[in-house]
Every structure is written in structure tokens, then in C-alpha cells.
């Protein structure tokens, strides 16, 4: 059975193409800085937004027209797998990602849920044999069901902790079975609403224990995926324990987990935390903790996780700059944790959305590579911090200065001269690179 009958494989046609069902900038085979775009960008399709999401919002019912929705229960889950692999091939996706409940319905008991999962995982495994699309990561949904009302690994109820742990155990087995490159932990409800009824220390300690147990079990079964933690400051809880990369890193260090997990950084989570996407990528990169990316964007006027497909080119340039400076994403990728808008309800919109996102990151990649080749931002930093290359600055960075020495130096200063940070000039140069990279083509 096929589901996207009026759509053929999406091809690269170049910037002059008028075909909405073609890539204008993403040319998978094109080399940028020695590697193909496909190798660098490692795009992933998010199962939940593309095949499970019905596009409902708090004020209205779902609008999505999905040909597989004529089926129910396990039949629908099976139809989704067929549709997913047709979509992966047509959009030419190297990767996909899912939560347990995206691929198989939960049963009345854990054993029944696991049985449903086994059936669908076996089917996915069969489809993967004839597909180039690999599993970027899987995870388990330990936040939607009412049992997780007080959290999962940080729940006040030990039975829920146990249930959540059992779901992760199964998730790790599923990841191993399907050869997942990574395993993600997004702490959907790992936080709290109010300190009036919360033992924060116990909850955080338990969360630390939860990650160690998962790591021990992954080792036990020989599942060697990279573990990733995905920070988000709020939503659904008002205080999430992994607020952003900085607080997440402190948490990992405190619980001896800094060698166990890296970060899966989501653009919209970064902006919800009051950071830019590039801030979060940069913070992870300079600590060698950048693992993977959930590629989306928020709405500048809305204060919640709108999960839009990424189209802001300025942001994709700065994101790809960080990723290239990181030496790529390793086993990670750019997973479109993004959904079409409620008004974009046709199956075809799923293609338009992915094309827009893939093209936007392809532009970002090419512009960022040019910025790096021309050392544009490296020269800015070199010049701005030159005072640390000699004299008292060099003494400071080499640890040869103490407060006595610095006081003596400061007393001898007759004037302190600062130089311009040239911010407007730098922004104009980035615009120039953005506009000229494709101008001649």
C-alpha cells in the first residue's frame, strides 16, 4: 500500500527551480569542505510530528489529513510504518527518530505495550533492510500518560519510577535491535510545579540514579549508542531540572554522568530558555558535549514550544557554523523535531515542510563553510582578544599573574583604551556572505 501517490522522489533542481517539490539548495552529493551535504547534515524525520501528530491545539481538534488514519490501533501503527518508509525514500532522509508510543499503541499493561512494540519493531526492522534510512535515535515517552503526572525518574511515587525505568529498559532493547546511533532522554516532566510539595534534592538524586541504571543496562546488553540529554527550561513543568546546557552540564558533572551523556540541543528549547540556538550549541561545543540537534524554530511572538520547521537563514548559518567548528555532529544529526502548522494539513505539506527545512540548513552549511574558509569570525576574535597574546594579558592566561602583580600593573596605567566591538559591521558581513553565496548561480 502506498500513501503519497501523487508525489515522486524529491530531487535537487537548484536555486532557479520553480518546482515546490524539489530541493533548491540541498544537493546531497555536493561536497562542502571535503564532505557531502548528506554526510554533514545527517537529516532525520521525527516520527511523532510527521506520522502520529494530528495537529490539534489546546483550542481545537486535529486537522491533519493522513491517509493511514482510516485504520485503527495496531492496523494504523502498521500503516504508519508503510507510510513512513515511503516518505523517507521520497524525501531522501538518511535518518528517522521515534518515541515508543509513536510507533505502537500502549496496551492496558506494560507487557501488552511491549508486545505491541515487538510487533512494530520487527516490521520496522524488515523495512530497514531495503531502506537507506537509519535510526538516528529512539526514546520512550515517559510524560504523556496520566501515570507520569508527577514525573518519571523524578516522580514522588516509586512505582512510577519503576514503571518509567522498565520503559527505558525496553527502549534500550529496541534501540539495540534497530541499530540506533543515539538514545535520547528528554525529561518531559522531570521538574516541578512548586517547592511547597517537592523534595528537590531527592528528585534530582533519583534522576541521577535513573541515568546510571540506564547506562549500566546499555552496557550489559552491548548497546553502544551515544546517550543524549535534551534540555528544555519549562513546558510541561514550570521548572525543568535540565533547564539548558549549562544547568544540564552541572547536573551531569554532579552525578558523575559527564562521560555518559552528551546534549541533544533543540532550537526552540534554547529560545524558551532565553538563549539563542547558537548559544546552546556553542556552550555544548566548547565543553565537548555537543551530540545531536533537534532542528526547529520557535515563533518570535509566542512564548511556547511551537516546533516550527526551521526557515530562518541567519539562524541556520550560525548553527551550522557551530556544528562545523565542532568537526560535525559525529553520530548525531539534524532531526526535524518540527511540525507543520495546523493550517498546513495536507500530506503534501509534510514534503514542503521538510524541503524548506533541508534547504534552509543547506544554505546555512554553505554560508558557514565560506565564513570559516575566509576566517571571518576567527579574525574578529583574534583581533578583539589580542591583549591576551602578550604582556600582562599573556601572564594572565598563562597563570603567571596574581593580584599583587595586577595591582602593580594597574597602578602604572595612565589610561585604559577600549576598542569598538564592531557588531554592526560583523552583522553586515554575515548578511553579505548570505546574499553572495548563491548570487552567481
Q: Rule CB under 6 A: which residues touch ligand XUL?
A: 99, 139, 184, 186, 230, 232, 266, 294, 305, 337
DSSP of 60-107, one letter per residue? Answer: B------GGGGS-HHHHHHHHHHHHHHHHHHHT-SEEEEEHHHHS---
Q: Of 49, 99, 269, 279, which is the active-site residue? A: 99
DSSP of 335-384, one letter per residue? Answer: EE-----TT--SHHHHHHHHHHHHHHHHHHHHHHHHHHHTTHHHHHHHHH
Residue whose entry in the numeric block shows the C-alpha cell 528537590: 200
C-beta of 86 vs 308, nearer to Co ion? 308
**280 binding partner (options Co ion, ligand XUL, none; Cβ < 5 to 8 Å by kind):** none
C-beta of 266 vs 437, nearer to ligand XUL? 266
Using the rule CB under 5 A, give the single segment among 155-163, 201-209, 253-261, 291-299 that binds Co ion.
291-299
Q: Does 294 bind Co ion (CB under 5 A)?
A: yes
**139 binding partner (options ligand XUL, Co ion, none; Cβ < 5 to 8 Å by kind):** ligand XUL
**242 binding partner (options ligand XUL, Co ion, none; Cβ < 5 to 8 Å by kind):** none
C-beta of 113 vs 268, nearer to Co ion? 268
**305 binding partner (options ligand XUL, Co ion, none; Cβ < 5 to 8 Å by kind):** ligand XUL
DSSP of 215-257, one letter per residue? Answer: HHHHHHHT--PEEEE---SSSSSSEETT-SHHHHHHHHHHTT-
Q: Of 49, 57, 69, 102, which is the active-site residue? A: 102
Q: How far apart are alpha carbons 349 and 219 in whole angstroms?
A: 41
Which residue's CB comes closest to ligand XUL? Answer: 186
Site size toward Co ion, by CB under 5 A? 3
Q: How far apart are alpha carbons 260 and 248 in whole angstroms?
A: 13
For the bound state, the minimum distance from the C-beta of residue 107 to Co ion, rounded and expressed in Å, comes to: 26
For the bound state, the minimum distance from the C-beta of residue 349 to Co ion, rounded and expressed in Å, comes to: 20
Told to judge if 54 belongs to the known catalytic residues of this protein, a careful annotator would answer no
Q: Give the closest residue to 50 by CA, choosing from 294, 359, 345.
A: 345
Main-chain phi, psi angles of 370, to 5 degrees: -65, -40
Among 337, 350, 365, 371, binds Co ion (CB under 5 A): 337
Told to judge if 102 belongs to the known catalytic residues of this protein, a careful annotator would answer yes
Q: Does 266 bind Co ion (CB under 5 A)?
A: yes
Q: How far apart are alpha carbons 333 and 148 in whole angstroms?
A: 29
| SS3 of residue 277 by DSSP | helix
Burial class from Cβ neighbours inside 10 Å (0-12, 13-18, 19+) for residue 215 reads middle
Give the containing element (helix H, strand E) for 319: helix 313-325
For the bound state, the minimum distance from the C-beta of residue 298 to ligand XUL, rounded and expressed in Å, comes to: 11
For the bound state, the minimum distance from the C-beta of residue 4 to ligand XUL, rounded and expressed in Å, comes to: 24
C-beta of 185 vs 351, nearer to Co ion? 185
Residues recognised as catalytic: 99, 102
Residues in touch with Co ion (CB under 5 A): 266, 294, 337
Amino acid at each position: 500500500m502506498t500513501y503519497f501517490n501523487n508525489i515522486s522522489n524529491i530531487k535537487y533542481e537548484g536555486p532557479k527551480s520553480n518546482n515546490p517539490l524539489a530541493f533548491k539548495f540541498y544537493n546531497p552529493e555536493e561536497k562542502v569542505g571535503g564532505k557531502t551535504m548528506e554526510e554533514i547534515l545527517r537529516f532525520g524525520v521525527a516520527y511523532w510530528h510527521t506520522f502520529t501528530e494530528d495537529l490539534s491545539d489546546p483550542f481545537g481538534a486535529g486537522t491533519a489529513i493522513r491517509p493511514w488514519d482510516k485504520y485503527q490501533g495496531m492496523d494504523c501503527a502498521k500503516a504508519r510504518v508503510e507510510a513512513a518508509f515511503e516518505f523517507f525514500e521520497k524525501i531522501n532522509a538518511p535518518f528517522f527518530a521515534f518515541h515508543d508510543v509513536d510507533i505502537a499503541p500502549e496496551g492496558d499493561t506494560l507487557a501488552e505495550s511491549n508486545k505491541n512494540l515487538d510487533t512494530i519493531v520487527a516490521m520496522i526492522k524488515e523495512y530497514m533492510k531495503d531502506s537507506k534510512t537509519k535510526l538516528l535515535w529512539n526514546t520512550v515517552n515517559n510524560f504523556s500518560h496520566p501515570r507520569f503526572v508527577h514525573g518519571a525518574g523524578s516522580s514522588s511515587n516509586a512505582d512510577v519510577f519503576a514503571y518509567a525505568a522498565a520503559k527505558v529498559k525496553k527502549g534500550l532493547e529496541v534501540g539495540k535491535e534497530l541499530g540506533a546511533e543515539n538514545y535520547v532522554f528528554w525529561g518531559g516532566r522531570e521538574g516541578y510545579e512548586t517547592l511547597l510539595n517537592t523534595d528537590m534534592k531527592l528528585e534530582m538524586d533519583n534522576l541521577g540514579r535513573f541515568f546510571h541504571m540506564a547506562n549500566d543496562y546499555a552496557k550489559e546488553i552491548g548497546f553502544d549508542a551515544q546517550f543524549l540529554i535534551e534540555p528544555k527550561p519549562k513546558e510541561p513543568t514550570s521548572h525543568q531540572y535540565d533547564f539548558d546546557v549549562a544547568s544540564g552540564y552541572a547536573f551531569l558533572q554532579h552525578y558523575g554522568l559527564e562521560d555518559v551523556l552528551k546534549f541533544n540541543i533543540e532550537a526552540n528549547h534554547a529560545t524558551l530558555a532565553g538563549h539563542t540556538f547558537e548559544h546552546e550549541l556553542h556552550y555544548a561545543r566548547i565543553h565537548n558535549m555537543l551530540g545531536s540537534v533537534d532542528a526547529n524554530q520557535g515563533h518570535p511572538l509566542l512564548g511556547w514550544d511551537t516546533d516550527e520547521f526551521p526557515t530562518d537563514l541567519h539562524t541556520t548559518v550560525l548553527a551550522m557554523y557551530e556544528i562545523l567548528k565542532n568537526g560535525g555532529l559525529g553520530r548525531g544529526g539534524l532531526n526535524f523535531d518540527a511540525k507543520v502548522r495546523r493550517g498546513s494539513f495536507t500530506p503534501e505539506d509534510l514534503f514542503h515542510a521538510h524541503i524548506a527545512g533541508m534547504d534552509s540548513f543547506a544554505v546555512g552549511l554553505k554560508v558557514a563553510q565560506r565564513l570559516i574558509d575566509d576566517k571571518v569570525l576567527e579574525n574578529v576574535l583574534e583581533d578583539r582578544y589580542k591583549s591576551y597574546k602578550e604582556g600582562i594579558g599573556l601572564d594572565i592566561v598563562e597563570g603567571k599573574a596574581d593580584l599583587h602583580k595586577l595591582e602593580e600593573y594597574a597602578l602604572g596605567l595612565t589610561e585604559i583604551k577600549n576598542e569598538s566591538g564592531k557588531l554592526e559591521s560583523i552583522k553586515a558581513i554575515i548578511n553579505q556572505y548570505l546574499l553572495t553565496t548563491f548570487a552567481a548561480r
